[in-house]
Amino acid sequence: MDTHVVIMAGGVGSRLWPVSLPEKPKQFIDLLGIGKTLIQMTVDRFRPVCDLGNFWVVTSEAYVDIVREQLPDIPKEQILAEPVPRNTAPCIAYACWKISAKHPDANIIVTPADALVINVQKFAAAIRKALNFTDGSGKIVTVGIEPTRPETGYGYIQAAERKPDEIVKVLEFKEKPDLQTAKYYIAAGNYFWNAGIFVWSCKTIISELRTHAPQIAGVMDRIAASFGTWKEKETLDELFPTCEKISIDYAVMEKSKDIYVIASDLGWSDLGSFSSIKEHIPMPEEDPVPDGGSAKAVEGDNKVIGKDIRLFGCEGCIVHAEGSEKVVVSGLKDYIVAVKDGDVLVCPISEEQMIKDYSAQ
């Protein structure tokens, strides 16, 4: 089987200001203080199922050099630069048309660059099962996450039945729910978090995009005519911005009739908030920090990342200050303290959903 992995790495991670900045967003940061960035962890996660020479990264032009620095073993020509962000459908289409030009029979995994998966062996087993299912079948498999709480910040996948670690038909994709609806999903048992990880054959996704997103497919056909020529970048810069700005969920997943899900308890998180980072910073006895790492748990259910962080009378806090010389925090309970390049955030964890708005003002 000719397997390829496409990593989407163009987001800006604005909910994690000031640690994640537009110049260097969260996928390129060691958020957990374990000695690896999120995109490096993503590559490691897929190595058991794909040769490193078959990895592709789609990112912003501004991040190409960062990707090359952090992932030096991925072929340079397989780091694809979007001239402008146009959401996930054009991003995925661009990568799949590029792969199809040389590998028309490829089976493709698409994944975000910035998530965490704890149960990596179980994850690899699920991906192998999905690859076998989609190879030459014309079907699409998405990865569902067994929910651990009634989360209102994620979309959900409604499966036809509850069969953990098995591939079952998708009935419907659900938008981010309110709390009451999320509680209903948990109680029902056949609703799973949508991790945004997809498995399909090259031919299948191109066919689906032609059917459900013909405008994007038409643009990609015109760009593809320039692949391998001196006009490729010029053509991409001219035409890619004309693509409809739409997610792959809206463009294809909610319209296609052949969507399946494999759901499992994978220890997954999108690490999209400081509270999720706090939850997943490894305890020393559980997962010793590699040399050079700087994460630790301290008394009072505090978690800290940084060289010299001193807490006095604090409880339930996360302090993220990688690169700072010394940070002293006293008397706070359930607070976020984040320091990066002279910018400082002090915010109750209960108000972390406002960080994006605070930083924009």
Same domain, yes or no: 247 and 304: no
Q: Is residue 96 part of a domain?
A: yes
SS (H, E, C) 153-175: CCCEEEECCCCCCCEEEEEEEEC
- Tokens (6 digits) for 297: 């748990």
Same domain, yes or no: 252 and 297: no
CATH code for the domain of 232: 3.90.550.10
The mean predicted confidence, pLDDT, of the chain is 92
Same domain, yes or no: 65 and 97: yes
Same domain, yes or no: 306 and 189: no
- Characterize the bridge pairing of strands 259-264 and 167-174: antiparallel
Same domain, yes or no: 23 and 142: yes
pLDDT digits (tens, 9 = 90+) for 117-170: 999 999 999 999 999 999 988 999 999 999 999 998 899 999 999 998 999 999
Same domain, yes or no: 228 and 326: no
Q: Is residue 317 part of a domain?
A: yes
pLDDT of residue 53: 94
Same domain, yes or no: 306 and 224: no
Q: Is residue 282 part of a domain?
A: no
Query: How many structural domains comprise the chain?
Result: 2
Q: If you ran DSSP here, which 8-state letter would residue 20 be given?
A: S
d(CA 238, CA 252) in angstroms, rounded, equals 24
Around 216, how many Cα atoms within 13 Å sit in the side-chain half-sphere?
29
Same domain, yes or no: 66 and 128: yes
Same domain, yes or no: 183 and 241: yes
Q: In angstroms, what CA-CA distances link 274 with 173, 206, 210, 322?
A: 27, 37, 39, 14
Q: Is residue 234 part of a domain?
A: yes
Domain with 90, as residue range(s), is 3-269
Same domain, yes or no: 11 and 148: yes
pLDDT band of 346, cuts 50, 70, 90? very high
CB 106 within 8 A of CB 78: no
pLDDT of residue 13: 75
Q: In angstroms, what CA-CA distances link 358 with 334, 344, 346, 350?
A: 18, 12, 11, 14
pLDDT band of 213, cuts 50, 70, 90? very high
CB 64 within 8 A of CB 44: no
Same domain, yes or no: 154 and 212: yes
The dihedral of CA 329, 30, 265, 248: what is its sign? positive
Q: What percent of the chain stands above pLDDT 90? A: 81
Q: Is residue 201 part of a domain?
A: yes
Global pTM?
0.92
pLDDT digits (tens, 9 = 90+) for 71-127: 999 999 999 999 999 999 999 999 999 999 999 999 999 999 999 999 999 999 999
pLDDT band of 293, cuts 50, 70, 90? very low
Q: Is residue 275 part of a domain?
A: no
User: Please, is 137 exposed, middle or buried when counting C-beta atoms within 10 Å of its C-beta (0-12, 13-18, 19+)?
Assistant: middle
Residue where a domain terminates, one of 218, 239, 269: 269
Same domain, yes or no: 185 and 302: no
